[in-house]
A and B are shown apart, each in its own frame.
Chain A
Amino acid sequence: MEYFIIAIIAVALSATSLAVALCTALSLRKKVSALLDELSMALLARKKSKKVKRYILLKVVCSEEADIKAFMMDFENRVSKLLGGIERMGCSLTIASVSKISNRMIIRVTGDYQCFKKVLVALSIQHILFGGCVAIPIRTSGLFSRLRKWIY
């Protein structure tokens, strides 16, 4: 009789431990898969927000009455207005170099690749909306040193 009770207790204990192990494994699996999902999402998000830096060489052509200095001061504002507030979240534009002798300038565009395309369009239409000087994109490159020789 004693052996029978011990056997029942042993079976009950093993069944409980099996159930506990199963529950733990299931919850762990859920947590691990959730963690993996989060990690992959983070990796994807990181890939999506990968920033590209491009340089654009511009030639500035002004009519006689337009002031080229004022244009260069106002240049970033003009392009930013055309891009709009939301687009500027992931897209920045700065003047990297200016040559007053040749009226050329190099601008740095930082953001995703679409941002670079949008900046090119904004540069192309800014004179139609605001008037004054025309900015003609001549060359683009990922390296500043490659464009420096064209600025004279």
Chain B
Amino acid sequence: MAKEPRANMLVFFESCKDVVKYVAEDNASILGLDKSFFDLCKDSLAELEEEVVIMPRRIITIDRKSIGIITMHRKLDALTAFKPLDTQSARVLAKIRKSTVLLVSPNSLKYVNEAQVNFLKQSHSRKFLEIAFGEFVKLLALNSRSMHASKAFYSLGNTMEKALKLDIGVAASGAIENYPKCLFTNHIDALLFSMGFSKRERRMILEVYPLELLKVWLGEE
């Protein structure tokens, strides 16, 4: 079976051998690894037989106090996703004149919502949303009481729908804990299907936008 060019933007691993196992089992062609782990396993990753694009990733949490980091942390050694924890930082991220990735998780969903998508659309540069599906699934699996799962999924669905409608890039990541407690690309596809997204929309999220994001990031570099 030929691999579809699907992407899982972030997966956590314990050892370098697990990456080989994951790549063999999943049909992801683009895989994001944590920057520190990527540096550790550089050599063993070079020996991978599968045709997979592996990129270093970094997640940075932004709030009112640490808003200055946004400009400082634009290092190109890893694809950085910003997780805003207040409205002010979310709006600042939307106004930056460089392509930026915003992480959507249950914590940041309040600030990266439909209104924020409108701001992202008005931006001069291409903006992307990265949906941390792993953290949303945690709400379902671990009976978290911090936020109702149905409310979170409803809000997430609306945000994603609005982003797709306005052509804001949407990518997905399945990191929860270390492998194998993660979401594979087929699991993400099943979740999107159950949320009511069509085949075309699922393809855009799993294949088209991640490729575009990769192209934009490599172009910046």
Q: Is the CB of A125 within 8 A of B141?
A: yes
Alpha-carbon gap, A61 to B142, bound state (A): 22
Alpha-carbon gap, A128 to B179, bound state (A): 10
Alpha-carbon gap, A59 to B26, bound state (A): 10
Name the segment of B34-42, B94-102, B183-191 touching the other chain: B183-191
Q: Is the CB of A124 within 8 A of B180?
A: no
Known A127-B181, A134-B180; judge A121-B186 contact (CB<8 A): no
**Nearest neighbor of A128 in chain B, beta-carbon distance:** B141
Number of A-B contacts (CB under 8 A): 51
Closest chain-B Cβ to A56's Cβ sits at a distance in Å of: 9
Closest chain-A Cβ to B2's Cβ sits at a distance in Å of: 13
Known A61-B180, A120-B194, A136-B187; judge A125-B25 contact (CB<8 A): no
Tell me which residues across on chain B come within 8 A of A106, comparing CB atoms. Answer: none
Q: Is the CB of A137 within 8 A of B190?
A: yes
Known A61-B25, A136-B25; judge A128-B137 contact (CB<8 A): yes
B176 close to A (CB within 8 Å): yes
Q: Is the CB of B194 within 8 A of A125?
A: no
Q: Is the CB of A125 within 8 A of B140?
A: yes
Known A120-B193, A136-B26; judge A125-B186 contact (CB<8 A): no
Q: Is the CB of B180 within 8 A of A63?
A: yes
Q: Is the CB of A134 within 8 A of B190?
A: no
Tell me which residues across on chain B come within 8 A of A117, comparing CB atoms. Answer: 193-194
A118 close to B (CB within 8 Å): yes
Closest chain-B Cβ to A93's Cβ sits at a distance in Å of: 15
Closest chain-A Cβ to B219's Cβ sits at a distance in Å of: 33
Closest chain-A Cβ to B108's Cβ sits at a distance in Å of: 21
A79 close to B (CB within 8 Å): no
A131 close to B (CB within 8 Å): yes
Tell me which residues across on chain A come within 8 A of B176, comparing CB atoms. Answer: 128
Tell me which residues across on chain A come within 8 A of B181, comparing CB atoms. Answer: 127-128, 131
Tell me which residues across on chain B come within 8 A of A123, comparing CB atoms. Answer: 187, 190
Closest chain-A Cβ to B53's Cβ sits at a distance in Å of: 21
Tell me which residues across on chain A come within 8 A of B193, comparing CB atoms. Answer: 117, 120
Tell me which residues across on chain B come within 8 A of A125, comparing CB atoms. Answer: 137, 140-141, 187
Seen from chain B, the residues whose Cβ lies within 8 Å of a Cβ on chain A are 21, 25-26, 137-138, 140-142, 176-177, 180-181, 183-184, 186-187, 190-191, 193-194
Seen from chain A, the residues whose Cβ lies within 8 Å of a Cβ on chain B are 59, 61, 63, 117-118, 120-121, 123-125, 127-129, 131, 134, 136-138
Q: Which 9 A-B residue pairs are closest in the complex by CB-CB distance?
A: A124-B187, A120-B190, A117-B194, A129-B141, A128-B141, A61-B25, A121-B194, A124-B190, A125-B141
